[in-house]
Structure 1
Amino acid sequence: MNIELDGISLIKAGESESGRQMEVRSVSNISTSDSRSIVEHKVPGMEGSVFQNLGRAAVRISFDGAFQGKNAKSLLEAIRSKFKQGTALPFTSDVSGSADVTKVIIEDLKIQDVAGIQGKYSYSIILREYKEPPPEPTTPPSQDDQAEEWAEKKAEEIADSINVVAGRVLDPDGNPKKGAGVLLKSDDGEYNAETDEEGKYRFENMPPGKYMITVNAEGYEGLERELTVGKKEKEGT
């Protein structure tokens, strides 16, 4: 196993020529955490939502460690100094879940002097993955018409990323309806789905446009709803 923080190896064992152990660096209780940011958009008049994927959140890495030897105190002081600076640090590791993380910020650091053992210190650390900020967005032109066109284009790009239609079908008593057919129809084609045991259905990767949705189940006869996925149609088109 290998873990390095800004060139400091956190796992190491050194011995003198006589075989006596001179320096020990170790880590334990390694934990990594990943998450994804999802925004839910309610569909008016329907039991369903449209979900927008905003990407993966920064990886969180935590572990306990110990330094023992004549350089133990100075190593921990160096790490503490980097924590106080609050800057991004180079990071390398072959631990599962963090091997692709190359830069981190020290989010939390706790240090303890181990009583009864000279030159031994333990610590707990939490690292947060650091990503370079995206480039500055293009500033819209100062002219009002061009600025409005720029803003509309950005809004359409965001709308185009919403491409999931999901909902739920209930029977007249309010219980989930399993196996109900759901039809999503547009000028370009038709899409079919069937509800699961919880009465839920889901359409993914839908092309932008207007759709009519109908449900083949008791209590839904003759009911039809219109919804828009992605880019909205402009007036007069």
Structure 2
Amino acid sequence: MSGRRVLVTGAGRGIGAATAAALAQPGGVVVVNYRSDDEAAAAACARVAGAGARAVPAKADVTDLAAVDSLFETVSREAGGLDVLVLNAGVPYRYERLGKLAPAEFETQWRVLAYSAFLCLRRALPLFPKGGGDVVFILSSVTAGAPPAYMAGYVSAKYALWGLARGLAAESGAKGPRVHCVAPGMTETAFLKDFPRPIVDAAREAQGGKLLTPDEVAAMVVNALTSPAEPA
């Protein structure tokens, strides 16, 4: 990964911050995208710099077209191109019956988890080297088995993100970029703060008595990037 130019969305904390640090290597550039928490982003950038890469903080709401355009102007200016894009923008879970889920909440899930990925991809694709580049989609275990109840907004948005990955893989083929999907189980992040504890406890039991850590998910990303690409 030496010298790679990386952009991680939603990298201010949690899985994104851990992934940015895991992909940081001497001689590389890691653009740390975040939405609002300057202090957390500074800590994430410090982890990147500690691994020997140049950290570039990039505050941007990736659901906003103009903000995404500005983000990729930063990528072009600071990194001169892109080798790895990690699509990790996330939103707190909404645990609610579908019939009671507010339209605005449903829209937020889709905008953050799926629409933001589309906006980023359309700007990232021209920046990849010809015949190269890697895109990592951070999915969820909800796309790998029976989905949980009362999370229709989140589940449907993650399936949409998976569909976007499959569509990109079908287009790119052997010409690049390579497409990778990482679908971790429930992970210990701030998003679980207000989540029903019985659901968290059930997930912990199903995962062998523990939740994943952000660093463990970051290791999955590194492994995906160093393994042969498989169909999305």
Higher helix content, 1 or 2: 2
Higher strand content, 1 or 2: 1
Q: TM-score, normalized by length of structure 2?
A: 0.20
Q: TM-score, normalized by length of structure 1?
A: 0.20
